[in-house]
Structure 1
Amino acid sequence: MTASRPPRILIIAGSDSSGGAGIQADIKTVTMLGGYAMTAITAVTAQNTRGVTGVELLTPDFVAAQMDACMTDIGVDAVKIGMLGSADIAEVVADRLEDLPVPIVFDPVMVATSGSTLADEATVGVFEWLMELATLTTPNVPELAALGGDAAMQARGVTYLAKGGDADGPEVTDVLHRAGQVPVIWSDPRIVTRHTHGTGCTLASAIATLLARGLELDQAVAQARLFVRRALEAAPGFGSGHGPMGHQAVR
């Protein structure tokens, strides 16, 4: 890859009609960090800052077709996985990625910032396969609990970033766990704002892009966290609920 050719990031996720999270947040993040964004859309949602009012899933075969179209022509330097929508989609995604030798960042989306459920029990059941394939899994507090907590994740040997944005307190602490290594801990003052829609999507896409650019995992996480914090500070103030961040303002 030359300096004139951006890293190619395949995003597998759902669409957010309001533009704050999902595929839309992913594309903005990858673009702002110098990557080339491609997509395999798993679902189309009707949502805004107040919540999700409708979800239409694409078929597993069509999700696979989107992935194949990107991988066989443009090529892929890293993958970001977000909302999957069904166990069948999760399985076909895992199958397609089984032998892909690039960084994979898996954001195990279960619940939207607004509280809407985005993954049923059967879908969560396939997450273990995806976590085995992933370079990094990025659960938030409730997602980590649903996956069995730190003990279960460490027993599986999963490399994961335990995100602390949903925890209480004046500090946000994120912890990177890697088998056989001392955890890496980041802690920063909490940015008090209601404009947090898409933080998880943004962080995972940023990490994937930075890994594709050749950064080590801890460096990629550190820089991605900084990108999210700057986007939070630059939020445009849209909506009456959990508003979008200001990706376009980050330089």
Structure 2
Amino acid sequence: MKVILSIAGSDSSGGAGIQADIKTAEAFGVFSATAITVLTAQNTTGVRSIEPVSVKFLHDQIDMIFEDLPIHAIKIGMLFSEEIIDSLKPFLVKTKIPVVLDPVFLSKAGASLLKDGAIKAMKELFPYVALLTPNQHEAKALFGDPLNVKTPCPVLVKHFTTEIESHDTLFYPDGKTRTFVTPKLETKNLHGSGCSFSTAIAANLALGNSLEKSIGKAKAFIYQAIYHAPNLGHGPGPLGHKSGGLHAR
């Protein structure tokens, strides 16, 4: 069985973060180990409080996982602070495992999930990842122009939309691009969609699929998971991971 490691935050409402990552990996028949970066008290309407773990505890988790489990891909989500980000750089420099980095800045309810000053530190990780998955607002904060992305790693900019379609554009370091298209869904139920998408890509990389095939399968999964969302909560609700999984493999 293939195994991924999710290095991310915990969502008390169960819709995003490591909770979404575990459900997404299982949809593809992949096991997910986790290393928690922060604990969040949140629901679909907002985030009340954030408690980061110590750097030592984070790396104790990572070390224990690698001592026991065969890791085939890594997904990195919410990192929150410059201290946590800086601590991961030596690990990423050494690893030969494909890493998908989802630069989480804001929750779907609009709460800030990254401390001031941490963006510069995050950019130091880019040379060591297989894929970066910002949405267009995160891409603008990182690169200035989400339509003109230049980095040492491939970047998938999510959520360019027309009246009828949703476009995600993959930018390669050599300037080549590819766009992935699905029908646009009119819904508020997008809580955890970014987490789930990046994890779906990591799961497919763990299964041995190419980067573009992994993105395509992940996008098809997310479309179905959003379409079958259970409509829970008073804000942006969680996805229907189980229903999305019926179309995942």
Asked whether the two chains share a fold, i.e. TM above 0.5, the reply is yes
TM-score grouping bracket, smaller chain normalisation:
over 0.9
Runs of 4+ in 1 over 4 A off after TM superposition: none
Question: Which of 197, 200, 211 is residue 217 of structure 1 equivalent to?
Answer: 211
Distance (whole Å) between structure 2 residues aligned to residue 182 and residue 50 of structure 1: 39
- TM-superposition CA deviations, 1:140-173 (whole Å, max 9, x none): 011000002347741x3331001016x5643211
Between the two proteins, the alignment pairs up a number of residues equal to: 244
Distance (whole Å) between structure 1 residues aligned to residue 39 and residue 163 of structure 2: 34
Contact residue 203 and residue 224 of structure 1 kept, 8 A:
yes
Q: Secondary structure at the match of 1:147?
A: helix
Distance (whole Å) between structure 1 residues aligned to residue 34 and residue 116 of structure 2: 25
Distance (whole Å) between structure 2 residues aligned to residue 133 and residue 152 of structure 1: 21
Q: Per-residue deviation at 1:124?
A: 1.4
Contact residue 159 and residue 166 of structure 2 kept, 8 A:
yes
Question: Which of 212, 229, 235 is residue 235 of structure 1 equivalent to?
Answer: 229
> Is 1:184 aligned to 2:204, yes or no?
no
Q: Per-residue deviation at 1:97?
A: 2.1
Query: 1:20 and 1:186, CA in 2 relative to 1: closer, same or farther beyond 3 A?
Result: same
How do 1:51-200 residues align onto structure 2 when only pairs under 5 Å count? 51-148=46-143, 149-150=145-146, 153-154=149-150, 156-164=151-159, 169-180=163-174, 182-200=176-194
Percent identity reads 37
Q: Secondary structure at the match of 2:226?
A: helix
TM-score calculated relative to the size of structure 2: 0.94
TM-score calculated relative to the size of structure 1: 0.93
Q: Per-residue deviation at 1:53?
A: 0.7
Query: 1:226 and 1:151, CA in 2 relative to 1: closer, same or farther beyond 3 A?
Result: closer
- TM-superposition CA deviations, 1:73-123 (whole Å, max 9, x none): 213110000001111111112222221111100000011111000002322
Query: 1:94 and 1:153, CA in 2 relative to 1: closer, same or farther beyond 3 A?
Result: farther
Let me know the Cα RMSD of the aligned residues: 1.4
Query: 1:64 and 1:174, CA in 2 relative to 1: closer, same or farther beyond 3 A?
Result: same
Q: Per-residue deviation at 1:204?
A: 0.3
Q: Per-residue deviation at 1:188?
A: 2.2
Question: Any unmatched runs of 5+ in structure 2?
Answer: none
